[in-house]
Amino acid sequence: MWTTARKIVGFLDRRSRLPLLLLLVPMLATAVLEMLSIGLILPLMNVLTTRDGSGTLIRYLDPFLPDATSLELLTWIAVIFGAVFVIKNIVLFVITYLINMVIGRKLAKFAQHMFDLYLHRPFMFHLQRHSSETMRNLNQSISYAFDGLRLLMMIVLETILITATLLLLLFVEPTMTILAGALLALFGMAFHRISSPVFQEWGARGHAIERVIIKSIGQALTSIRDVKLLNCYDFLKESFAKLTDDLVHYKINGDMARHIPRLVIESLIIVGFVAVILYLSHGAGRIEDTLATLSLFGMASLRLMPSANRLLTSISELKLRTAAVDDLYRDFMDGERDYQASGTGIGGDIPYERDLRLENVTFSYSPSGPQILSGISVSIHKGQSIGFVGPSGAGKTTLLNIVLGLLAPESGRILVDGHDINGNVEGWQKHIGFVPQHLFLIDDTLRRNVAFGLRDEEIDDARIAYVLDLARLNDVVAKLPNGLESKLGEFGSRLSGGQQQRIAIARALYRDPDVLVFDEATAALDNETEFEINQAITALAGKKTILIIAHRLSTVRKCDRIVLMKQGRVAEIGTFDELSATNQDFRRLVDLSALAAQD
């Protein structure tokens, strides 16, 4: 439990921990009020049982109220008893509110920070990590972890209150208090020792199932077209049902186990109270003092039962959250390390006036995995258009990801005007516009999709009109019901594939980049739409440095040079006609492309 608690506290910086530490002051004040509210039951019962003023405790009050009658004493003590109890409960309510408020605000700040860390994690992290795990951590795991922080504060609060109650009882009746306290402590330790591994296992399994559920929902909804065409409703329903049944199984176990402490503790406290009654009734003390002491123990028992229950339940809940906290803590520490190593926002712009050079670039996705790129050296002058072609698995996309600064080469350098982009990747990425094969369109207006990532007040409508014209989208905008303010639907569902690709070009051009990178931008388009996209690309030739990956050789036919790749190496570089005349592999690609065009 302490390891989990340390990790939860580790989510907060020193400044964030201060409000939680300050809450210890009202907690201690509550403990004093708790002792006073319970302790006042002694003089109250003493006055009630000895109306003639002969009670032991009443004599202690004579210096404070020398002329008071027993009725007046009763009135004063009753009023003070009630006032202290009300004040104590008000303070408890305020503390509980402050704990929830402080933790809620820290949760929101931490969620924002984790979201930022995930966005800044290296591209390799996102390639190797399923998004469902990240989504679960940002949603459920953060809530679980900070609910764990609330549980920690409640553990501290209930421990203080229980300690205050036991100290009072220890002062009044030490023998029975020590025996009862030892019995409660033994039960608490035994319950924690036995239940902790079980709760931790249930929490870990439920945590893992939640990730798979998010993954299943995402996959089913994203592939809804295939689901309907293949009529695989029952298959997906059965898979989802098994996952949810398993999750409910672990949650039911956890919920039922939470009731065990309350039932056992209530039994122990009641048995202990009966033992106190028997012990005191056989003593030699005054019956009035005995009744007052019994009332004190009865009052304390009523106070101890809920506190002890909440204490053990909170410890159990904390164990159930161990797996979520562990996963989140690992991502938090790794994210902080990557963020610090990246030097985000430190570097300035990298000048780009002459050329982009790749020098002996080598890359593999893991130390023990195969080399995807080996000894790649290419020189690209500013304003040139370069096509990258080759069979699947040749390393084309990986190479462009390295040029984009998304992946770091295992060895070799990426030089821009002689400057190595390593250490200032963002400075280089300011010069790049990227057009992917599958554009991510947000379910928002055309205007916000083209100027993706900018606030409304930052968007330049004149610039949008200019790039829409370059991407040949004016006719499309004219047909939309609300022009630039038309909603495009989820994933651009209200647009054709060609229209989506032209929006991708407009988005890439909006920030006026020096380099445009096209990654299979026409692979999924029909010939007519591909021709329109190629026309848009051709219009940019000479104005921008253009890098194109393409299986359709018609897309790269007009490039200044073509880089033919094979098995992670550069096989040959030349113009389209040169490679057609001299390279057999390239001629085969030309023939296959011609056959595909005929089909």
| CATH number reported for the structural domain that contains residue 591 in this entry | 3.40.50.300
Provide the CATH number for the domain around residue 321. Answer: 1.20.1560.10
DSSP string for 303-320: HHHHHHHHHHHHHHHHHH
Query: What are the tokens at 487?
Result: 């909603």
Q: Are residues 158 and 52 in the same domain?
A: yes
Give residue 53's pLDDT. Answer: 46
Residue 463 located in a structural domain:
no
Q: Are residues 320 and 406 in the same domain?
A: no
Residue 202 located in a structural domain:
yes
Cα–Cα distance, 65 to 81 (Å, whole number): 16
Residue 577 located in a structural domain:
yes
Last residue of a domain, one of 286, 308, 338: 338
Residue 494 located in a structural domain:
no
Q: Is the dihedral of CA 62, 63, 67, 69 positive or negative?
A: negative
Q: Are strands 545-549 and 371-381 parallel, antiparallel or unpaired?
A: unpaired
Give residue 363's pLDDT. Answer: 93
Cα–Cα distance list, 549 to 33, 243, 259, 537 (Å): 74, 41, 62, 13
Cα-based angle 564, 566, 570 (whole degrees, multiple of 5): 55
Query: What are the tokens at 321?
Result: 């959250």
Give residue 361's pLDDT. Answer: 92
pTM for the whole structure: 0.69
Strand order in the sheet with 561-566: 432-435, 515-519, 545-549, 385-389, 561-566, 569-574
Cα–Cα distance, 342 to 116 (Å, whole number): 13
Task: Quote the crossing angle between the two packed helices 322-342 and 70-120, to the nearest 10°.
Answer: 50
Q: Are residues 385 and 324 in the same domain?
A: no
Q: Which residues of 351-381 are buried (b: 16+ CB within 10 A; e: fewer)?
A: ebeebbbbbebebeeeeeeeebbbebebebe
Give residue 358's pLDDT. Answer: 92
Strand partners, 381: 355
Residue 464 located in a structural domain:
no
Cα-trace Rg, the chain: 36
- Count how many domains the chain has: 2
Is the separation of the CB atoms in 296 and 57 below 8 Å? Answer: no
Residue 455 located in a structural domain:
no
Q: Are residues 32 and 74 in the same domain?
A: yes
Q: Are residues 421 and 296 in the same domain?
A: no
Q: Give me the domain span that covers residue 216.
A: 2-338
Residue 552 located in a structural domain:
yes
Residue 454 located in a structural domain:
no
pLDDT in tens, 409-446: 989 999 998 888 887 888 888 888 888 877 777 778 88
Task: Quote the crossing angle between the two packed helices 24-39 and 287-320, to the nearest 10°.
Answer: 150
Give residue 362's pLDDT. Answer: 93
Last residue of a domain, one of 309, 338, 367: 338
Q: Are residues 426 and 554 in the same domain?
A: yes
Q: Are residues 78 and 114 in the same domain?
A: yes
Q: Are residues 254 and 303 in the same domain?
A: yes
List of the chain residues with pLDDT < 50: 51-57, 60, 344-346, 595-596, 598-599
Cα–Cα distance, 42 to 307 (Å, whole number): 21
pLDDT in tens, 307-348: 777 777 777 777 777 888 888 888 888 888 887 776 544 457
Please report which helix (H) or strand (E) contains residue 346, including its range: none
Q: Are residues 416 and 327 in the same domain?
A: no
Which candidate, 202, 267, 213, places its Cα nearest to that of 239? 213
Is the separation of the CB atoms in 97 and 124 below 8 Å? Answer: no
Give residue 287's pLDDT. Answer: 53
Last residue of a domain, one of 338, 357, 372: 338
| H-type alpha helices, 62-173 | 70-120, 123-128, 131-136, 142-172
Position 555, amino acid: T
Q: Are residues 250 and 272 in the same domain?
A: yes
Q: Are residues 146 and 83 in the same domain?
A: yes
Cα–Cα distance list, 372 to 209, 309, 572 (Å): 34, 59, 17
Q: Are residues 331 and 375 in the same domain?
A: no
Cα–Cα distance list, 541 to 384, 471, 514, 574 (Å): 7, 13, 12, 17
Query: What are the tokens at 277?
Result: 């009654």
Give residue 381's pLDDT. Answer: 92
